Structure 1
Amino acid sequence: MSNATQTDRWTDSPRARWLAVAVYAVAMAWVESAVVLYLRTLTQRLDPATTTPLPPLERVTEAELVREAATLIMLGAVGWLAGRDRRTRAGYGLLAFGLWDIFYYVFLKPLTSWPRSLLDWDVLFLLPLPWWGPVAAPVSVALLMVLWGSLVTQLPPQRLQRSPPGLVWVLTALGVVLALYVFMADAIRVAPQGRQALQNLLPTRFNWLLFGCAWLLMATPVLHLLIQLTRRQPAQPTASQPE
């Protein structure tokens, strides 16, 4: 086998695809951290948990909303391009999102000296309402994304069921809804008071109990995969030797 053929096989392998998606996600994380540095320097809010955390800069806010949506599209697109089927596309997409989220905070620390700890509050997203939570919360969800994405993209198809039971997806969806509620609970509460109330919102308490339940539910697909891996694989039939 020629070296060129071996190289082509490796570059098209799941491991190479994982590495390419990871490099892309980490690079995007640096871009995200740099953009946030610019925005927080512009608004003089390197620590988001300050008075009036969302300043009334309408054009900047509108651009930021579109940028967030564009970021999600970019992460989803790289997952679609890297995957070969629905499951691996979802896996690479979540892998990209998880690594992007984790390394965003890794890079933000030397750029802004923030967060000081994993318990510092952050504005996580603005769509459809501001999400608030300690840094540890989104990072823990991102770790689940990376783990599940790595498993479904790197394990041989014969080690995985064609499709997980419907109950797994129901529990996962319930966990996602609960987590979103926890992140946006304060914004939902003050939203009827108008934009000014959302801009001045500064939560101080996080519902760790409800979030923990949501996290466990979202971990269901990972647990399901790990259970599959612990099961004994059926022995492969061997070809009979001619007499």
Structure 2
Amino acid sequence: MNYKKFLFWIFLFSIAFGFIEATVVIYLRQIYYPEGFSFPIKIISDKTIFIEYLREFATLILIFSASYVAGKTKMEKFAYFMYIFGIWDIFFYIFLNFFLNWPSSILEYDLLFLIPVAWVGPVLAPVIISVLLISAGIIIIYFENNNYKIYQTKLLWLLEISGGFIVFISFILSAGDVINRLYPAHFYWWLFCSGVIIAILPFIYSIYKTIKK
């Protein structure tokens, strides 16, 4: 199958998966937040939290499995993972907004993830990451299917991973507030943006070198 058609079907898969993810959250909020989701987080049983951990882990396995099947090379598999994850995440919020009118603002805080600890931040932050993941995924998939050998070095990989780790840190710095059932103090935008820049610049350089070959 032509990779463009494959991208289209993976796009539909990711949207559908985003809808499934959104429906689970909708049901949970109807039970625990009938008045509407807000911080501080309400007390939830240990069993429910454990199930949520397993659900999130299963989500990652599903995305990984789909990307593994979709890609032909290791780089392309990784690209599909980014592509699927980004679309899934964005449409998750689109469906939540459609059915719950939430978030009312892209700066509204959300409990983003639980693995390995609570991730917290304004909705805008993960959406930015998702847009970047989708863009990077499409670029890599295009190169992989048009006989380009993507330029990469250990240093570039290290910088990209370091940038991603800094972004991760920016999300978990408020984990203590969530655990103590407080409203997140604030989001460290400067740290988030620093991580994004550190990750993006090596990627741009890699693309530049790939095209110039």
Q: Answer whether TM exceeds 0.5 for this pair.
A: yes
**Residue 48 of structure 2 corresponds to residue 60 of structure 1:** yes
**Counterpart of 2:75?**
87
**Counterpart of 2:33?**
44
1:132-181, Cα deviation, whole Å (9 max, x unpaired):
000010111111110111011123443333x5122211111111111111
Paired positions, count: 212
Give the letter aligned to residue 76 of structure 1: F
Question: 1:57 Cα shift?
Answer: 2.0
Question: 1:49 Cα shift?
Answer: 3.0
Question: Matched residues in 2 for 1:46 and 1:221: separation?
Answer: 45
**Cα pair distance change 1:115/1:149, threshold 3 Å:** same
SS for the counterpart of 1:133 is strand
Question: Matched residues in 2 for 1:20 and 1:75: separation?
Answer: 14
Is the Cα–Cα contact under 8 Å of residues 92 and 153 in structure 1 kept in the other structure?
Answer: yes
The partner residue of 1:117 within 100, 105, 109 is 105
Cα-Cα RMSD: 1.9
The partner residue of 1:26 within 15, 18, 30 is 15
Give the letter aligned to residue 57 of structure 1: S
**Percent of paired sites with the same residue:** 27
SS for the counterpart of 1:159 is coil
SS for the counterpart of 2:38 is coil
**Residue 154 of structure 2 corresponds to residue 166 of structure 1:** yes
Superposition TM-score, scaled by structure 1 size: 0.81
**Counterpart of 2:3?**
14
**Residue 135 of structure 2 corresponds to residue 129 of structure 1:** no
The partner residue of 1:218 within 188, 196, 199 is 199
Question: Matched residues in 1 for 2:49 and 2:85: separation?
Answer: 22
SS for the counterpart of 1:73 is helix
Give the letter aligned to residue 63 of structure 1: I
| TM superposition outliers: structure 1 runs of 4+ over 4 Å | none
**Residue 181 of structure 2 corresponds to residue 200 of structure 1:** yes
Question: Matched residues in 2 for 1:186 and 1:59: separation?
Answer: 23
Question: 1:229 Cα shift?
Answer: 6.1
Superposition TM-score, scaled by structure 2 size: 0.92
Question: Matched residues in 1 for 2:139 and 2:35: separation?
Answer: 36
Question: Matched residues in 1 for 2:199 and 2:37: separation?
Answer: 27
**Residue 16 of structure 2 corresponds to residue 35 of structure 1:** no
Question: Matched residues in 1 for 2:73 and 2:16: separation?
Answer: 25
**Residue 123 of structure 2 corresponds to residue 142 of structure 1:** no
Larger displacement relative to structure 2 (222-231 or 100-109):
222-231
Question: 1:20 Cα shift?
Answer: 1.7
1:43-70, Cα deviation, whole Å (9 max, x unpaired):
026654323x142222221111100000
SS for the counterpart of 2:104 is coil
Q: Which runs of 5+ in 2 are unaligned?
A: none
**Cα pair distance change 1:119/1:139, threshold 3 Å:** same
Is the Cα–Cα contact under 8 Å of residues 91 and 150 in structure 1 kept in the other structure?
Answer: yes
**Cα pair distance change 1:24/1:225, threshold 3 Å:** farther
Q: Which runs of 5+ in 1 are unaligned?
A: 1-11, 191-196, 234-243
Give the letter aligned to residue 209 of structure 1: W
Larger displacement relative to structure 2 (143-152 or 214-223):
214-223
Question: Matched residues in 1 for 2:135 and 2:202: separation?
Answer: 10
**Cα pair distance change 1:25/1:205, threshold 3 Å:** same
